[in-house]
Amino acid sequence: MGSFSPDNESRPLLSPDTKLTIAEASELTGLSKRALARRIERGQLPASKEGGLRRIEARKLADAGLLDLATGRPPPWGGKRMDSGAVAREIVETLVRQSIELHELRSRLDSFVSESRRDDDLIRAELERAQREREELRTALREADERIVELRTRA
């Protein structure tokens, strides 16, 4: 399977379907083999047994937040203890930003809906005008045809 050493700068990108041994996964994630085995035993990390070895799909490591498939390394936040207060503040700040963005998007959507309704009304009015004009033209054409027939019969 090749070297999965975190120091290997020329490591090829991992396919999500790549199956890794616990030792290989340990090298990639920076977690100990025992820590990975415990996660598997607790059912937190799916693994299969092949040839007597437990194997973990790279996708499952990524899903668990233990591996960035694009770099073959742990994600930047991996393995760091975070202050719960700082995390909570960051979440609140993110929610506030998203709430503001959502409000702005709703306002823009309302504006688009109003504009669309105005456009629909204008189109509807223009269509009705065109239909009336068509009927007037048909009537004028019918009258012209009748006049032509009348003139031919006189001649």
Question: What pLDDT shows up at residue 77?
Answer: 63
115, two tokens: 């504009």
Which of 145, 140, 141, 139 is closest to 153 using CA atoms?
Answer: 145
Which of 27, 8, 23 is closest to 67 using CA atoms?
Answer: 27
Judged by average pLDDT, the poorest of 56-65, 69-78, 128-137 is 69-78
Question: What pLDDT shows up at residue 82?
Answer: 62
User: Under DSSP, is residue 92 helix (H, G, I), strand (E, B) or coil?
Assistant: helix
72-104 tens-digit pLDDT: 888 776 555 667 787 788 889 989 999 999 999
Give me the mean pLDDT over the 102-121 stretch.
Answer: 96
DSSP conformation class of 66: S
1 compared with 70, residue with greater pLDDT: 70
